[in-house]
């Protein structure tokens, strides 16, 4: 078994046991696992949970189609050339829950990810990079979603 997988299984099992015994609330358990941001309903609140304002950066590259024919599976990639990148947050601005994904990177790791996100309408995709010293940087790209591939 992968050592990382084993540590995740141990920590989630321990949290589950603490919740079942009533020693930890389910809200505290979600906060411990870092999932609290996924319930935020607007972009301003989602960005506020990161603890600051992000400066625009040309060192963050977002790859997503200019026009997506199927909003259910839009491929999005983010690459950061910012030294010390520890986390990448992916937001879809007009989605009901704008936080789409969180990626965490160990030291000395290439900070580049690929994912697929759901978009209900044409919107901006925002990537926020957090460095090891807590600084925030961002970049955005507009992606238009067509209905049935017939318009833009």
pLDDT tens, residue by residue, 11-24:
555 545 545 555 55
The sheet with strand 74-80 has its strands ordered as 60-63, 74-80, 111-117
Q: How many CB atoms lie within 10 A of CB 96?
A: 8
Token pair, residue 126, equals 């925002």
pLDDT of 9: 56
- Helix, strand and coil in the chain, % to nearest 5: 25, 35, 40
pLDDT per residue as tens digits for the range 66-114: 999 888 899 999 999 999 999 999 999 988 888 899 999 988 889 999 9
pLDDT of 151: 46
C-alpha 119/C-alpha 125 separation (Å) is 10
For residue 98, give the 3-state DSSP assignment: coil
Does 145 have pLDDT greater than 50?
Answer: yes
Does 6 have pLDDT greater than 70?
Answer: no
């Amino acid at each position: 078994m992968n050592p990382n997988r084993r540590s995740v299984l141990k920590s989630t099992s321990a949290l589950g046991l603490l919740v079942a015994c009533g020693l930890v609330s389910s809200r505290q358990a979600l906060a411990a696992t870092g999932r609290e941001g996924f319930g935020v309903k607007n972009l301003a609140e989602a960005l506020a949970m990161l603890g600051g304002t992000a400066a625009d950066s040309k060192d963050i590259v977002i790859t997503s189609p200019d026009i997506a024919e199927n909003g259910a599976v839009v491929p999005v990639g983010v690459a950061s050339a910012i030294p010390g990148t520890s986390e990448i947050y992916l937001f879809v601005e007009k989605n009901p829950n704008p936080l789409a994904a969180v990626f965490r990177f160990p030291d000395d790791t290439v900070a580049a990810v690929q994912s697929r996100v759901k978009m209900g309408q044409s919107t901006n995709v925002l990537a926020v990079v957090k460095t090891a010293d807590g600084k925030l940087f961002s970049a955005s790209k507009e992606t238009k979603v067509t209905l049935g591939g017939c318009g833009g």
